[in-house]
Structure 1
Amino acid sequence: MTALHALWMGLVLLGVLGVLQTQAQAPVSLQPNFQQDKFLGRWFTSGLASNSSWFREKKNVLSMCMSVVAPTADGGLNLTSTFLRKEQCETRTLLLRPAGAPGCYTYTSPHWGSTHDVWVAATNYDEYALLYTAGTRGLGQDFHMATLYSRTQTPSADIREKFSTFAKTRGFTEDAVVFLPQTDKCMEERK
């Protein structure tokens, strides 16, 4: 009986440790009761923070881009972003596949071929969304990014402050947080 009791207690402790380990690995909390249908539509990428060397080199020349989020047949999302690059509009589409709880997705980077996880950490659907992305790029370099999506090109000071606070809680420094300047170029929805 004592051996059975010890075995049972050992399994309970392993279960508790497993829960603690799972919670420690969750890099960001998700929007409670995330409603994917309300997240669809046009967004403007208004703010970014990243640990990427590319981002640090280019952050002063980046401008706001427009993204359209549309549903896929498998319950995922197509995220189509149009942005200005070398004075021309470029469009890229990422397929975000569901990865667990609502608001959690994964995608494969077309450039690196690596898998990235995306969490919708907070949104009110009508004004803003805060996203966090984590993965590995190139030769095992950890990649982290916080993104502010806004329904307009002029997010309020409160929303900008929410994003700044969110990025800092994710470990980004003040100089890694960038609010992207507006542009009229590449902001029309493509048919």
Structure 2
Amino acid sequence: AMAKPLLFLGLILMGVLKIQAQDSFPTVFPVSSLGKFPRHPDFQSDQFQGKWYTIAWAQNFEYVEKSRKIILLSTIYKLNHDHSYSVTTEWLSKPQCDYKTITIFPINHSGLFNMTTLPAYAGLYNFTLKVLETDYNEYAFVIRRVDILNSIYFQHILYGRIKELSPELKQHYRIVTRSLGLTDDDIIFADPSGKQHPE
């Protein structure tokens, strides 16, 4: 019975990793306050839309088994008439490309979104996406968070409009990741040549 909730957790958090469902919930590392970050002032939804590449990610949970066959990830944010986003993530893996689309809705004008069409697993889920920081044209820091059974599962994602970002931006991402209670060892950078590696 746990397989479906875990698969769902993997699908909506990921945009980063293809996670295989397990028989028990994943280990959750200690979480610092995600609420200490100010909401993005005057978030420009139209400027944020478009294609982003996942340059790096760090998360406070782990699975015994992970797929390491992903070559590259791209995520497209398409702005809808009701100000929601259709978010499509592609896993550019061989021999075929896989993708997943979800819809997220703005909570306000500060870069905070939630997903209101969650499957009804006894009301255990709450999914939010928060844009911590972005210049719209080059990079973005995004938190994807799911609350399940009084536990918080989150990923801190570094997006880039291109497949490679400057060392300075990567270092800034490391500093913000540490402030979330994670370490440099929790960070995985996607190699633009098609590989994954800790950095």
One-letter code aligned to 1:52: F
Aligned to 1:11: none
Q: Unpaired runs of 5+ in structure 1?
A: 1-23, 185-191
Pick from 88, 98, 101: which aligns with 2:106?
Answer: 98
Q: State the match for 1:125 in structure 2.
A: 136
Match of 2:152 in 1: 142
Deviation per CA, 1:64-96, whole angstroms, max 9, x where unpaired?
301111112221111111103564210111111
Q: TM-score, normalised by structure 2?
A: 0.70
- Are 2:123 and 1:115 equivalent residues in the alignment? no
Count of residues in Structure 1 that have an aligned counterpart in Structure 2: 160
* Alignment-derived partner of residue 73 in structure 2: 65
Change (3 A) 1:141 1:85: farther
Once the two structures are TM-superposed, the CA of residue 174 in structure 1 deviates from its matched residue by 1.3
In structure 2, relative to structure 1, the CA distance for the partners of 1:123 and 1:77 (3 Å cut) is same
1:171 and 2:165 matched: no
Mean Cα displacement is larger for which, 57-66 or 100-109?
57-66
For 1:76, the aligned partner's letter is S
Cα distance in 1 for partners of 2:120, 2:171 equals: 32
SS in 2 for 1:26: helix
The structure with the larger Rg is: 1
3-state SS in 2 of match to 1:182: coil
2:86 maps to which residue?
78
Q: Distance in 1 between matches of 2:116 and 2:53?
A: 22
One-letter amino acid of the structure 1 residue matched with residue 84 of structure 2: G
Amino acid at match of 1:179: F
Give the structure 2 partner of residue 38 of structure 1.
47
Identity of aligned residues (%): 23
Rounded to whole Å, the distance in 2 between the matches of 1:109 and 1:171 is 30
Could you tell me how far apart the structure 2 residues matched to 1:48 and 1:121 are? Answer: 14
TM-score by length of 1: 0.72
Which structure shows the higher helix fraction? 1
C-alpha distance in structure 1 between counterparts of 2:119 and 2:92, whole Å: 18
Root-mean-square deviation over aligned CA pairs = 2.8
Distance in 1 (alpha carbons) for counterparts of 2:144 and 2:37: 9
Give me the whole-angstrom Cα distance separating, in 1, the residues matched to 2:113 and 2:161: 21
Q: Aligned AA for 1:47?
A: A
SS of the residue 1:45 aligns to: strand
Q: CA deviation at 1:108?
A: 5.6
Deviation for aligned residue 1:111: 8.4
